[in-house]
Every structure is written in structure tokens, then in C-alpha cells.
Amino acid sequence: MIETILSRDLGTPISLATELITLTIDGSAVTVPAGTSVMRAAALGAINIPKLCATDSLEPFGSCRLCLVEIEGRRGYPASCTTPVEAGMVVRTQSNKLQQLRKGVMELYISDHPLDCLTCPANGNCELQDMAGVTGLREVRYGYDGANHLALKKDESNPYFTFDSSKCIVCNRCVRACEETQGTFALTISGRGFDARVSAGQDETFMASECVSCGACVEACPTATLTEKSIIWLGQAEHKITTTCAYCGVGCSLDAEMKGNQVVRMVPTKTGKANEGHACVKGRFAWGYATHKDRITKPMIRAKITDPWREVSWDEALDYAASEFRRIQAKHGVDAIGGIVSSRCTNEEGYLVQKLVRAAFGNNNVDTCARVCHSPTGYGLKQTLGESAGTQTFKSVEQADVIMVIGANPTDGHPVFASRMKKRLRQGAKLIVIDPRRIDLVKSPHIEAQYHLQLRPGTNVAMVSSLAHVIVSEGLLDEAFIAARCDARAFDQWRAFVLQPENSPEQMAAITGVPAQQVREAARLFAAAGNGAIYYGLGVTEHAQGSTAVMGIANLAMATGNIGRDGVGVNPLRGQNNVQGSCDIGSFPHELPGYRHVSDSTVRMQFEAAWGVELQAEPGLRIPNMFEAALDGSFMGLYCQGEDIVQSDPNTQHVTAALAAMECIVVQDIFLNETAKYAHVLLPGSSFLEKDGTFTNAERRISRVRKVMPPQAGYADWEVTVALSNRLGYPMTYTHPSEIMDEIARLTPTFAGVSYARLDQMGSLQWPVNDLAPDGTPTMHMDAFVRGKGRFIITQYVATDEKVTKKYPLILTTGRILSQYNVGAQTRRTENVRWHAEDRLEIHPHDAEERGIEDGAWVGIHSRAGETVLRAQVTERMQPGVVYTTFHFPESGANVITTENSDWATNCPEYKVTAVQVMPVQQQSAWQLEYATFNEEQLKLADTAAAL
């Protein structure tokens, strides 16, 4: 019953008031919270009032005049959507007069609307059509004589949806959705009266406007004015299956609307707790890669990477992979092979890969892409707070008074969360941005950061220490919180450290490049906040001092008492859909599931008893160690599921040299990615639409992934791992991913209460889920830290080894862009390339002018690791001395120039600090020319296999 109510549109948003009001609607008593609209109260009482402009995802607007009601003691006919309930109010929703008024309003709408319902793409899902039926409209007296809007042309510029203004009833829902839900303010109402029409920007096309194609306007539209092109082509769906988005770490819940096994469209689930009915251009529209012609659907093998691929049966491919792994171990030893867990695959699939490595390979040589993104988060938060994860829900930001964003670009990397954050900022929360680049959050419609601390790349620790210096020296500490919740000795040592003069903003200004007064004012603002929340990303972790910076952030939160309640916390914004989950389920070489060290004999014995094998007590190789071991001849075999380490890991030429030195690489993926071009066995992977399982997002939320279509290659990824393990002599007998989750729950205390039945019942669960928290833990560290007392840690700033010189005078930093995702394997195979078709190098006008670089010109970027060529984008987003690029296209070679410098604690690469020189060029780099030749050869070798 609750789910049914939640999935219905109740007309206006929920009221959070605790006071209850009782009124009478159509003779029935209804009790609702104060502030509830009459429309919503009626809907909760199972009385549906006609509406067009109202929806419970937007604030009431009161323009359509269909929801009129009669209220005893009041004159006229008030709109129920904008009328709040009052105690004792008596409301009538049906009368002859109301019927006459509503029918008259509908008649006016229809008089300027095409009557092509039978061929209209919204037929069967049109609120205007529904309301015509509800109001009993049977004829339209006015006809089409005189002025009308029927001849207005469609805007087909957007690749995913069409805008047909002739069908627009100017209800304003799309405009309000763009403002309230997305926060882009790209749509407006142009003109007045009869001339009023919805327009994008200043009467621009949607593609030329500021529209970010999140789909909120399409979802809000009650007619066919805004319609997905997939709906126009395929027609209305027959059924839907709720699943979880496979892009970023927000973990949006989506309804896959289906016709048989074909996806018609993806719609954000209204009841999804991570996204609450919103999505972005990737999750909403960029799912076509799942059926792209480039999909690998048949297993292939070859002896050398210069050989043509040979398509074989699953049995032959798996037998060959298993025999090669056993041959290598017999020749080079048990530790000569290993595996990489994907942060894009499910928890269950990742769990099986690490189990395969430990139980079937017999070693701990397993790692995950979290090594190269958020491993410092795991280390830093474990040391200070006691748990390797963020502390809050995304919804918690709605209670924040001051928001500090460090090294993250939410509008591009985590757009649905960014929309939630921007809404809170528009309500009055203050914003501090710490970033070398002027990201959109610094200033965008109705939002402006109070402080943008535009530090030099690589100086996060210096900045955090100077903020702490101000908080301590000016008496802004939360002494009561510290005394009650934190380790006194550690705090005293930390306080003495941050009070040292060299940590003052004045001294640190020479390092960070940020004026001391700005730092002092920002520190005061954060410390004085009722609720101060910190959100950070890869701009914190991907540094030589990434772990140190994470610990410094935790220090700030503890020092100001901003832990353990809504609106505060330390919140890492995870990059990929299951980075958190891949870490949770034991994919690091030193940890078993639940972040328990392999050297712990008690924990190890528990897994040995469950798995029936003896496990190694020493940690295995991390990804960088695997490369080094491959080059020295001791690591010769790799099972890589769902990761593209050639494109995503630093110093590409070093990575490819290591892969070329191996004797057998088994890649399991949906495309012939850059790593697969070095493989000897290519096992077809399955997309998120083709499997059951779970993802865990950045707020520790475990959500169901549900199969909506059969795997194109016949098997889901977990089934392939099971089959490989069986051939290696270690039996796995799972018949469904739910059984794998049951095993995870039995062996992992934080997952103890997780099951598919509970997930289906609750929608999602945030770990820890156990006897103490059977419904999960939305907020961590509420009464005590997981480790007991919070531990302050000294964060001494140590400059990176990567220094600017006369030869390399600029600092390169990297990041993502909204329309593309990670290595781009998925989004490059969708219409998202219309927004971002190549990686570009952003450079400040001063640096460009000094080098004779014009906007759009080709430039060579040289580093100590390598050289590549990109097109320049001259922009004041950058500060002088700093350049920036994305890494979504393999031919760009962004990671050809990043070095192997890494975090001192975790080996997370220092992607964000690379010393470079940038100069105009006329041709591609030597690496790019070599890559083009190699890529062409590998594609031909794959095409040969398909043709055989």
C-alpha cells in the first residue's frame, strides 16, 4: 500500500510538518500534516482532483485551473494545488459548477491543440488526453479558426528527444523542472498571453542552449510536446523493470520501460532514494551502447597479440584460459598470475573474482580500479574514523548550512547529486569551493560560491592544514564534541602541529597560491556553520599525498563537530557505479571482504572454513606491482574483468609494455577495449541490463540490479567466472546471484542483514546492515566512531616529486565532463558524442598568448613520461600555469603523459599533478601515430575472426 502511494503522483510535494490537520473532503475526514495542499490531502484520501500543471515533484504553480474546488465559507473556486489545508475545512471536489468550469478550461486547451491522438507518440501516456476524459469533454465549439499554434515547427536538434511546440499547453512544468529539479534554468516562457511559448534559452534550439539533457523536462511534460525519440520510433512500453544505473557513484534507480526484451526508454524511479526521480543525460539516455554493433558476443582466443583472433565456443575459450593459467603457474610459480576486479560490475561478480584469485589461483594477487581513484579514501577514513566509507546519505545535504567542495566537480561527475546540492544552495546554504579550476559550481544560475580557493595542484594538504590552523588558533573548535568523541592525546598532538606558524595561511600562501585572508574567512565560515558538510573527489585522492589529504579532511570535520548527524559529514564522491562495492567485497590484495586484513588468522580461518581451501596470509600484488613484476618476468598471467587498464592507468606506455610481457591475458568485457587489444583470450561480458546483482553507491547504498534482457553472449559475467573456476579445479555451484549475496552476508559483518528479499522489500539498504541496524545505517558515527574514539592525525605537507621546471613549466591536471564517462567505452558509443567528441586541453589565455596558441589549434603536450597532441581550448576557467584535460578518448593519450608518481600509502596515481610543456604543433605525436597503426591492426584481427 505504501509503495502504491509513493508511486502515484499526489499533485504537490510532501509536507514535513509534525502538526496534523483534519479536514473533510467530499464527506470523508482526512488527516494530513500541516502545510499539505488540498490536492495532496484529497489524493491521500483516494480522491483524485483533475490537474495538468501540478505534479508532486515540483512546487505548486496554480496555472492550469483544472484543480478548482469548493470550500465552505469561501468565495470563488480556489486551486486545490496552491491551497493549504486548514483544521475543520470542508472541501467539495465535485459539483455541477466545478464540472462546467473544468470542461470549459479543457475545451480551451483542446481548441489550440492538434487532434492527432491516434498517431501521437504520447497516445496511451498523455495527461491532456486523460483529463479530457476525466472532465467529460466531448466536443470543442471553437474550432481552429483564427490564430493558433498548430503550424509551429518541431525542434529536433537534441538527439534524444523532440520538442513540438504545437502541442505545448504552457503549463510551465518543463520550465519548473529545469529550475527546481535540475537547477540549470535553461528553459523559459517567452512572450505573454497568446504569444507565451516555452523556449530554450533566448529562443535557441535545445542543443544550442544551456540544456544539459537530463530529461527532467521530458519527464515533467504532460503532453507529447517533449517526447523521447525512442518512444516516437518504438511506441509505448508494455512493462517496466526497476534497476540501478551503471554510470557514476550516485547509483540512480531507473525504470527500464520495455517491449519484450527491448528497452524503450529509461525513466528515473520516483521512489529511488539516491535520486528521487531525477537522472542525467548518461543514465536517462545513454544506454544504447548495450546493443551497439561493436559488442563482443562470441569468445575469441589467440596465441600472440599479433595473431588473428579465432572465434571459439565458450567451452574451448574457458578450457584454454584455464590451461594457460595452470601452465604459467607450473612454470613461474603460484604467484605468477592474478586478477583485477571491476568497479563497473556487480558486488556479486567482484566477490567471485576475488574468491577465484584467492581460492582457485591460490594467491592474493587481486586488485581493483579503486586503486587508481579512491584507495586513499579507504585508508584515510579507516585511520581517522574507523570505516572506509562516506558518512551520510545524499539527502543529508538538504540540511547543510555550509558546503565545502574539495577537488570534486559534481555538476559533471555526479550531476544528480549536484542538482540536489544546488537546490540547497539556492535555499541559502553557503558554498566553499577548493579547486585549481573554476568549475561550474563557483558561479552558475542563482548560485555563487562565497569562496573559491583556487589553489595550485598538489597543495591540498597545505590548504587543509591552513584551514585547521585558523580554526584552532581562533578558538573555533567544537571542544565539547572533541572531548566526548575523540582521542585526547591524538588531538593534543594534532592541535600543537596545526598551531605551528608554518601552517598558518600567511605561510602557506606561498605554497597554495591562495591569499591568506580568503583562507581565514573560509575557515571561519565553515567552523561557524550550524551544519558543515565536506564533499570531495578525485582532486583530493589522486595525489602523492592523497591519503594525507583525506585524513586532513576528517580532522576538519572532527575539529568542528561535523560528524554524526544530518547535514554534515565527510563525503567522498565515488567515480564509478560500484567503486564502493568493489572495495567492500574484498578486491584489495591485503583485505578480505569487509576490509579485514588477510593476516588476521581468525578472519582467514572463517573464510578457509567457508571456501574449503587454505588462504595466503601475506598480501598480494597491487596493480602497479603487477606491472613491475610482469616486466621482470615473475607475473605472467592476468584475468581482467570489466576494466580497461591501458586507457585508465597512468603512464600508458609502461602499462602496455607490462601487458606485452605477459604470456596470457584474459579480458572479459563487452567491447574490444584498449586492454583487450593486448589479450590472448577475450570473453564477452554482459551489460548491466543483462544481469542480476547489486551495486553499492557512494553513500553505502546497496541497490538491486535486475536483468531486463538476456545476455547477448549467453552468460552474465558471474556465470563466466564460475565456469572458469570450475575448470581450474575449484568448484563453484551458484545458480543465482542471490546465493552469492547470501554468502557475502554470512562472511561479512557489515552485510550480515543484506539479502535480495530485504532489498526488494526496502528498495535499498545502506551498510552496515546487521542486528543493531536491521534497516541499514543512513548516517555513520552517530553516537561513537566505528573505531571508538575519533583519531586526529598529523598531516605534514610534503611537496610532490613532480616539479615544474623551465623545460616543464605548466602543471597538467585531469578530470571528467558531463556527457562522457570514464574511458568512454560506453558513452562514446551513444549520441553523447554530440556534446563532447574529443578530449581538449584547457589553457588560460595568458599561457596561450605566451605560446602563440589560438583557440581550437593543435598543441603538443610534453611530460617526463611522454607526449601527445590535443586541440586547445583557451578559457579563463584555468589559472595561469595550470592546464586541464579529460581522458575519455583513447586516441587522446591523456595517460601517456601522466607519470607513475603515486600516493605514499596506497599507490593511487598522481593524475592531478603532471609537469608539462605545451606548444603549437602541426601533426600528431609519435605515440598517437603508433597507436593509430596498432589500433587499425587490432581491429582488422578482430574483424578477421568475425568473418571466419
3-state secondary structure of 512: helix
Distances (CA, A) of 346 to 78, 207, 494, 543, 725: 51, 34, 40, 28, 18
Residues 415 and 396: their CA atoms lie apart, in Å, by: 16
**Strand-by-strand arrangement of the 693-696 sheet:** 693-696, 701-705, 764-766
- Per DSSP, 79 falls in state B
Cβ count within 10 A of residue 788: 11
- Per DSSP, 854 falls in state P
Cβ count within 10 A of residue 900: 17
Give the DSSP H or E segment for 314.
helix 314-332
Q: Please, are residues 363 and 639 in contact by the beta-carbon 8 Å criterion? A: no
pLDDT one-digit tens code per residue, 894-946: 999 999 899 899 989 999 999 999 999 999 999 999 999 999 999 999 988 76
Q: Provide the pLDDT confidence category of residue 2 given band limits of 50, 70 and 90.
A: very low
Residues 441 and 844: their CA atoms lie apart, in Å, by: 19
Mean pLDDT, the chain, integer: 95
What are 542's three cell numbers?
A: 589522486
- Dihedral over Cα of 224, 226, 228, 232: its sign: positive
Give the DSSP H or E segment for 597.
strand 596-597
Residues 302 and 690: their CA atoms lie apart, in Å, by: 27
Residues 317 and 300: their CA atoms lie apart, in Å, by: 7
Q: Provide the pLDDT confidence category of residue 619 given band limits of 50, 70 and 90.
A: very high
pLDDT one-digit tens code per residue, 730-743: 999 999 999 999 99
Q: Which position has the grid cell 546483482? A: 693
User: Does pLDDT of 676 surpass 90?
Assistant: yes
Q: Which position has the grid cell 608539462? A: 916
User: Does pLDDT of 860 surpass 60?
Assistant: yes
- Return the percentage of the chain with pLDDT > 70, whole number: 99
3-state secondary structure of 260: coil
Q: How far apart are the first and last CA of the chain?
A: 57
Burial 454-483 (b: 16+ CB within 10 A, else e): bbbbbbbbbbbbbbbbbbbbeebbbeebbe
What are 842's three cell numbers?
A: 584547457
pLDDT one-digit tens code per residue, 689-739: 999 999 999 999 999 999 999 999 999 999 999 999 999 999 999 999 999
Output the pLDDT for position 370: 85
Length of the chain measured in residues: 948
Residues 310 and 297: their CA atoms lie apart, in Å, by: 13
Output the pLDDT for position 202: 85
Output the pLDDT for position 100: 94
pLDDT one-digit tens code per residue, 789-804: 999 999 999 999 999 9
**Strand-by-strand arrangement of the 226-228 sheet:** 154-155, 161-164, 226-228
User: Does pLDDT of 419 surpass 80?
Assistant: yes
**Stated pTM of the model:** 0.95
User: Does pLDDT of 889 surpass 50?
Assistant: yes
Output the pLDDT for position 272: 95
Residues 58 and 181: their CA atoms lie apart, in Å, by: 8
**402 strand-pairing partners:** 430, 532
pLDDT one-digit tens code per residue, 186-209: 999 998 888 889 999 888 999 999
User: Does pLDDT of 162 surpass 50?
Assistant: yes
Report angle CA 528, 530, 532 to the nearest 5 degrees. 80
Residue from 538, 596, 599, 302 nearest 405 by CA: 538
Q: What is the maximum alpha-carbon separation in the chain?
A: 92
Residues 705 and 251: their CA atoms lie apart, in Å, by: 10
Residues 436 and 43: their CA atoms lie apart, in Å, by: 50
pLDDT one-digit tens code per residue, 768-779: 999 999 999 999
Output the pLDDT for position 422: 97
User: Does pLDDT of 594 surpass 90?
Assistant: yes
Residues 251 and 273: their CA atoms lie apart, in Å, by: 9
Residues 19 and 42: their CA atoms lie apart, in Å, by: 18
Alpha-carbon Rg for the chain in angstroms: 29
Output the pLDDT for position 946: 66
pLDDT one-digit tens code per residue, 108-118: 999 889 988 99
What are 518's three cell numbers?
A: 580568503
DSSP per residue, 818-843: TT--TT-TTGGGSGGGGT--S-EEEE
At residue 447, φ and ψ (nearest 5 deg) are -140, 135
Q: Provide the pLDDT confidence category of residue 7 given band limits of 50, 70 and 90.
A: low
Q: Which position has the grid cell 538491486? A: 704
User: Does pLDDT of 5 surpass 80?
Assistant: no
User: Does pLDDT of 4 surpass 50?
Assistant: no
Distances (CA, A) of 359 to 362, 607, 742: 5, 10, 18
Output the pLDDT for position 6: 53
3-state secondary structure of 46: coil
Which phi-psi region, left, alpha or beta, contains residue 43 (left: φ > 0; alpha: ψ -120 to 50)? alpha
Report angle CA 575, 581, 586 to the nearest 5 degrees. 125
Question: Exposed (0-12), middle (13-18) or buried (19+): which is 92, by Cβ within 10 Å?
Answer: middle
- Per DSSP, 544 falls in state T
What are 71's three cell numbers?
A: 470550500
The mean pLDDT value for 812-831 works out to 95
User: Does pLDDT of 144 surpass 80?
Assistant: no
- Per DSSP, 14 falls in state P
Output the pLDDT for position 142: 78
**Strand-by-strand arrangement of the 451-453 sheet:** 451-453, 430-434, 402-406, 532-536, 569-572
Question: Exposed (0-12), middle (13-18) or buried (19+): which is 529, by Cβ within 10 Å?
Answer: buried
Which phi-psi region, left, alpha or beta, contains residue 675 (left: φ > 0; alpha: ψ -120 to 50)? alpha
User: Does pLDDT of 1 surpass 70?
Assistant: no
The mean pLDDT value for 552-569 works out to 97
Cβ count within 10 A of residue 94: 12
What are 903's three cell numbers?
A: 600516493
pLDDT one-digit tens code per residue, 366-414: 999 888 888 999 999 999 999 999 999 999 999 999 999 999 999 999 9
Report angle CA 466, 470, 474 to the nearest 5 degrees. 165
Residue from 549, 554, 544, 555 nearest 493 by CA: 555
Residues 545 and 553: their CA atoms lie apart, in Å, by: 12
Note the helical H segments in 385-459. 410-413, 415-426
pLDDT one-digit tens code per residue, 21-69: 999 999 999 999 999 999 999 999 999 999 999 999 999 999 999 999 9
Q: Please, are residues 660 and 653 in contact by the beta-carbon 8 Å criterion? A: no
**79 strand-pairing partners:** 68
Which phi-psi region, left, alpha or beta, contains residue 505 (left: φ > 0; alpha: ψ -120 to 50)? alpha
**169 strand-pairing partners:** none
Residues 924 and 869: their CA atoms lie apart, in Å, by: 6
Give the DSSP H or E segment for 43.
helix 38-44
Question: Exposed (0-12), middle (13-18) or buried (19+): which is 417, by Cβ within 10 Å?
Answer: buried
3-state secondary structure of 370: helix
